[in-house]
Structures are given as C-alpha cells and as structure tokens.
Structure 1
C-alpha cells in the first residue's frame, strides 16, 4: 500500500487478549498506530479505532511500522503503561517475527551489526545526525524455501525463504535493515528491498504489502507476573503460504520460535 492510498479497515480490530490492565490486538498491515503529520491524508488509526471499539482510552507501549502486521499491545492506564515500559527496558519481552525474503537463506545465525539512527527529515529535523551507530542484534532461522519458475532480473527463476526472526534489540527498521545487510531483503520493503521482486509479488500474487509479521509476543503480566503469549494470525498471507506449500498451522510456528528461545545455543 502506498502512502498515497488511505487505509480502509474492513472489519473490527481482532483482539487477541484483554483484561482490566491491557489489551493486545492483531494490527492489520498498512494501518498507522496513531495520527502523524507525515500522513495527513489518513483518517483511520489503531489507537482511535481501538478506543472506540472497547469504549475506553488506550496507552501505547511499543510500536509497529505502518506496513507491518501483527501483535500490538496497549495499556489501559498510565500506571500499567509505565510498568510495561520498565519491562522492555529490562528486556523481559520476547518478540518473534516472520518474514519472506529474497533468495535462499542457507542457515540460521545471530547478526550483531550496529545501525546508525535513522532520522526523518521532518519529524527529526532538530535531532543530531552525528550519533555513533547503535548496537543491533537479530537472531534468524530459515524455515521454508520456494523456487518459482518466474524470470526475474537476469535469473530464470525466483527464489524466496520464509524466515523466523527475533530482535534482541529494538532499533528503527532493525529487521528490514538487517535482512538487507544479509543480502536477503524482505519482499515488499520499498525502502531497503528489491524493487524487481516487489513487483513480481504484485503482478503474480496481487501482494502489495510488506512481508513482515509480528507473529508472537511473550511477556510477564505487569501485575500478576503470569507469563503471557500472544500470537497473531497470518491473515491475508495464509492463502499465499498455502499456495507455496508452507505451513499455516500456528503450532508449527510456535515450535520454531521455541528454537530461537533457547539461550544456550547463542552463548559465545
């Protein structure tokens, strides 16, 4: 979806979890979390839509880029928002994503590649642009592959991988930039991706979105300390995955994410 096309919500937001303290939703791809003067034409936003849907104010505690779909959590009070923010500072949250990338990613690994802070010309015009690159760490695990008999560029066929991702740090556009650094950019990424492959997905699969899903979020409840796990759906990507012969069952992805949970395999 281009920034010139206003987002249209087709149905109520899918609520994955709700209690008196917080609410988790499955954010649609292409939907802005809140109002922004960078997208003045937009009239539909997650915060206002969710507020109207549940009948109470919501407090953002993290964000997803506009083109990314998946688990998005809100607090229902300022106090709980503060507690959830403290959890993130203590790195108590575990996030897992799915991405469709260009090429066959041969094996999993942990990428420790610092990223220079990305500043917006308008929103960040008073910010310093001479800061040193910040540490950025991403774990990745290839899950599935497919070769399509569709010529692209100078190649007779197009190859893609489905990859599980765990960001250990939370830099702006970290996953998109890290996959591009690995030379396996995420399909549909108009900033760091490959335009020829983006066009292929539009033409052959009518797929115009960024192929990145915030699939799972695990965290301790900020009040009861109970371990919570929220899982977003594949939604409009499910038919494409099925067409590729890739799993659409949520159990499969939970098992793969458990592999990335295993801290001992990452000890240096």
Structure 2
C-alpha cells in the first residue's frame, strides 16, 4: 500500500470532522493526518479537503485562516465570514496567535532549545524563522538501529513564533532531531524502521493548541486538540514506562 493511502486511513470513514470550538464567527476542527486543507495542484491524488468537508458538514461557507501540512494533524481554525477571515489572518501575520505542537523525534533532545535558523523559500527569498523547543519525555527502545543496539526518541513541545513553510520539520532536521515519519526533511532510514517494525507511516507532528484574542469579543480563546489514534498508539509503544 502506498504512502498516501496509508496516511488517509486516519480520515474518519463517516467524513465528520471533529469540531473543537465554535461560535458565530469561528470554528476549529481536529484535522486528521493525511487530509489536505484545500485543493492543491501538487497533490492531484486527493479527492477530499478540509474546506469542502467542513463546508458540507456545517452547511455554510468556511475560510481557513491558517494552514497545516497534509501530514500534520491537530487544531485547524476557520472563519465563518470574510471579515473574520481577514481579522484572524492579520493576527497570524502579526504573530499574535500562539501555536503549540507536539512531535516525536529521533534522539535525545535538550531540555530546552531555541532554534533561530532562517529558511529559504522556493523563490529563493530567505526569511527569519524561530522555534522554541521543550522536551517532555525521552525514551530508549530495545530496537537496534545501524551500529546502535537501541534507539532513542524524544517527545517534544514546539512553539513557532514565525509561520514559514514546513518550519518545524526543517528546524528539527537542522538540529539533527528529525520528526519521525517526515518526508523529505526527516530520516528515511528511521521512517522505514517505523513502517517495518510498527506498521506506522504517519508523520508524528500534532498541532496541539492555538491561543489568541477573539477579534470581536476580546476574550482569550484557547483551543486544544487531543492526539489522534496513530499518534497515541506510538506514544504507548515508545513511552510505555
């Protein structure tokens, strides 16, 4: 079975997207791994998209105010009208939305780390990029890898203060702790190991929480998403103790 068909197994069979938060102008869902946010020419194999599914589910037009990679699961926020879409996109652009992710990565990461490493866009423009890392747990698994008799992994919390394309994936690869299941920025040998040993072919990156001030009410909004089944399964396998 190919990579994309395995990843799409996380998409609910009934096509109901889990709603985490909703008011008159905003709605947040827990996006499954493998689901595109919207139609893309570079993913012609996809036939379903979060925008389309949520529109049909709610019976009204929805506007994604930010993006998640196809392989990333977790909190995805939509506006329910053009005005709110503009206001929320402005907050994202100004760095006023706090985003928190969880990831399982190769190796033992430091307790805390600040990754200040500019990233180059496809058009050659170099942009500043900054990520804060906090290690939540570490594990050593009785699984030989290369010359090593065991394998080491870390569960980390990541907070990007900029929103560059594939920022977390590229930053973790830059510090030699690639996210498990990431292609092409991760470790292909580790990805193959997880597929062979655990039948796992999902990128272990989860958008856990977003926090922002509601543009209309002024209230502090905090939306969290539980990890999805495959992420939870790998947490149980790797961090059993």
Shared topology, TM-score over 0.5?
Answer: yes
Counterpart secondary structure, 2:235: helix
1:174 aligns with 2:175: no
1:58/1:207 CA distance change after superposition, 3 Å: same
Query: Which of 188, 211, 215 in structure 1 is aligned with 2:208?
Result: 215
**What secondary structure sits across from 1:37 in the alignment?**
coil
Q: Which residue of 1 aligns with 2:46?
A: 42
What are the residue-to-residue correspondences of 1:243-254 with 2, within 5 Å? 243-245=237-239
Give the RMSD, CA atoms, in angstroms.
1.7
For structure 2, which runs of at least 5 residues remain unmatched after alignment?
A: none
Residue 54 and residue 186 in structure 1: after superposition, are their counterparts in 2 closer, same or farther (change >3 A)?
Answer: same
User: Aligned pairs, how many?
Assistant: 236
1:166-202 deviation per Cα after TM superposition (whole angstroms, max 9, x unaligned): 0011111110010111000000011111111111211
* 1:7 aligned partner: 8
Q: Does 1:88 align with 2:82?
A: no
Task: Give the secondary structure class of the aligned counterpart of 2:181.
Answer: coil
SS at match of 1:162: strand
- The residue that corresponds to 1:125 in the other structure is none
- 3-state SS of paired residue (2:46): coil
8 Å contact kept, 2:101–2:209: yes
Taking the aligned partners of 1:97 and 1:106, their CA distance within structure 2 comes to 17
Q: Is the 8 A contact 2:119 2:128 kept in 1?
A: yes
Report runs of 4+ in structure 1 exceeding 6 Å deviation. none
- State which drifts further: 39-48 or 2-11: 2-11
Pairwise mapping of residues 216-231 of structure 1 onto structure 2 (< 5 A)? 216-231=209-224
Q: TM-score w.r.t. structure 1 length?
A: 0.84
Q: Which residue of 2 aligns with 1:262?
A: none
Which structure has greater strand proportion? 2
